[in-house]
Amino acid sequence: MNSRVVILLALIWFPLTAYVMFRSALGALANYLLLPAIPSVIVLYVLALRSWRESWVAIVGVSLVSFWLLMAVAAPYLPLVDPNKPLVPFLAPGGVRHGILFLLGSDMRGRDVLSRTVWGCQRVLVWGITATSVAYAVGAGCGLIAGYLGGWWDEFVSFASNVLLSFPVMVLFILVLNLLGQSGFNIIIAVTCSSAPVIMRIVRGLALDAKSRDYIQAAQTRGEHPLWIMLVELLPNVRGPIIVDASLRLGYTTVAITTLTFLGLGLQPPDPDWGLMIKEAATAALLWKYSYMMIVPALSVSSLILGFNLIADGLREMSLRD
C-alpha cells in the first residue's frame, strides 16, 4: 500500500460517502462531486492489475469489485431513469415502454430494476465499507492495546471480546438494532459489536508476536512514546494478514447489510438496496415469470462478495509464495 493507492482510495471514498450520506445537504455540488472518482477507480484497477498479475484469482476478484465500484461512482452520470419513480409495473426484461428500454425489466411498482441495482450498489458499498472501517478502527485499537500493553488491559479487552463473541452474530444484530433503532449509523454500531472482537483477536496475536522483535525494542530503547510505537512501528509492519482479513470482512459486512435490509432491520426504504429488492420481490412477486426481480439483486450481491473473497484468497496465496 503506497501513498499513491491511499490518495486514490481517498479520492473515491470521501466523495462517495459524502454523496450517499449527505446528498440533500450538498445541493447542486452533489452533481459534480463524484466526477473525479470515476478516473480514480479506473487508475486503481489498472494499478491492481499490474501488481497482482501473478495471481489470476486476485485479478478476477479485483475485476468484480472494481466493476461495482465503478457502477457506484458513475451511477449519477449513467443514462438511467430515477430508481424510485414508478413507471410501468411488471415489465419483462428487454421491454420498451414510453421510449425507455427496461433492460432488466421493471418491478411490481414499475421501477426500473437495472437502475435500482446500480443505485443499490452505491448504498451497499458505502455502508459496508464504512462499517468495516469503523469496526477495524475499534478492533485494531483494542488489539494493539491488549497485545502491546498486556497486563490488565489485555485481561479486560479479551474478556469483553469473549462476552461479545458468545452472542450468535444475527442475535447480536437484532438486539442492537432493536435497542438503538433502525438506521445506517446503527448498522455501523451493530457491525462493530460483532466484528471488532474478531479483529481485536487477530491484531492482538500479531502485536504479541511483533512485540519481541528487534525493531520494536529499538524503538523502546530510543524512548519513543507507546502510541507512536503501536501506530507507526507496529501496525504498518503487520499489515499483511490484516489486509487479507479486511478483504474477507468487507464481504461479511456486505452480506450482513443486505441480510439486515432483507429482514427490514437495516437501511430504510424507499431508496434501492439489494436486500430490499429481494424482500419486496419475495413478498409481492413470487412467480417464475417475475423471478428476474429477485435474481438480479441476488446475483449482484453474490458477485460482489465473490470479488472480496477472491481478493482475499489471491492475497493470501501471494503472501505464502513470497
Partner 1 sequence: MGNLIVRRVTQMLLIMLTVSLLLFAIFDSDQFREKAAVAELGGFGVATLSADDYHEWLEKKGLNEPFLARYGRWLESVLHGDMGQSIEKDIAVSVLLKESLTNTGILAFFVFWIMIPVSLTLGVLAGMNTGSPLDRVISIVAVLTTSIPQIATAVLLTVILALGLGWVPTKSAMADGWSFRGLVLPLLTLLLYDIGYLVRMTRAAMTEVMASQYIRTAVLKGLPYRRVILRHALRNALIVPVTLIFLELNGLLSQVVVVEVFFQYAGFGRMLFDAANFGDLQVLQAATLVAVCVAVGSQLLSDAAYVFLNPRVRFT
| Site for partner 1, rule CB under 8 A | 159, 162-163, 166-171, 174-175, 178-179, 251, 254-255, 258-259, 262-264, 275, 278, 282, 286-288, 291, 294-295, 298-299, 301-302, 305-306, 309-310, 313
Shortest distance, CB of residue 38 to partner 1, whole angstroms? 27
Shortest distance, CB of residue 35 to partner 1, whole angstroms? 32
95 phi/psi in degrees, rounded to 5: -75, 150
Shortest distance, CB of residue 288 to partner 1, whole angstroms? 4
Shortest distance, CB of residue 307 to partner 1, whole angstroms? 9
Q: CB within 8 A of 253, min separation 6: which ones?
A: 128, 129, 131, 132, 135, 191, 195
Nearer of residues 88 and 263 to partner 1, judged by Cβ: 263
Nearest partner of 144 among 222, 216, 214, 192, judged by Cα: 216
Nearer of residues 195 and 309 to partner 1, judged by Cβ: 309
Nearer of residues 38 and 172 to partner 1, judged by Cβ: 172
Shortest distance, CB of residue 167 to partner 1, whole angstroms? 6
CA-CA distances (angstroms) from residue 65 to 9, 62, 70, 218, 312? 13, 5, 9, 40, 12
Question: Residue 100: beta bridge partners?
Answer: 97
Nearer of residues 21 and 306 to partner 1, judged by Cβ: 306
CA distance 307 to 68: 10
CA distance 305 to 313: 12
Nearer of residues 222 and 289 to partner 1, judged by Cβ: 289
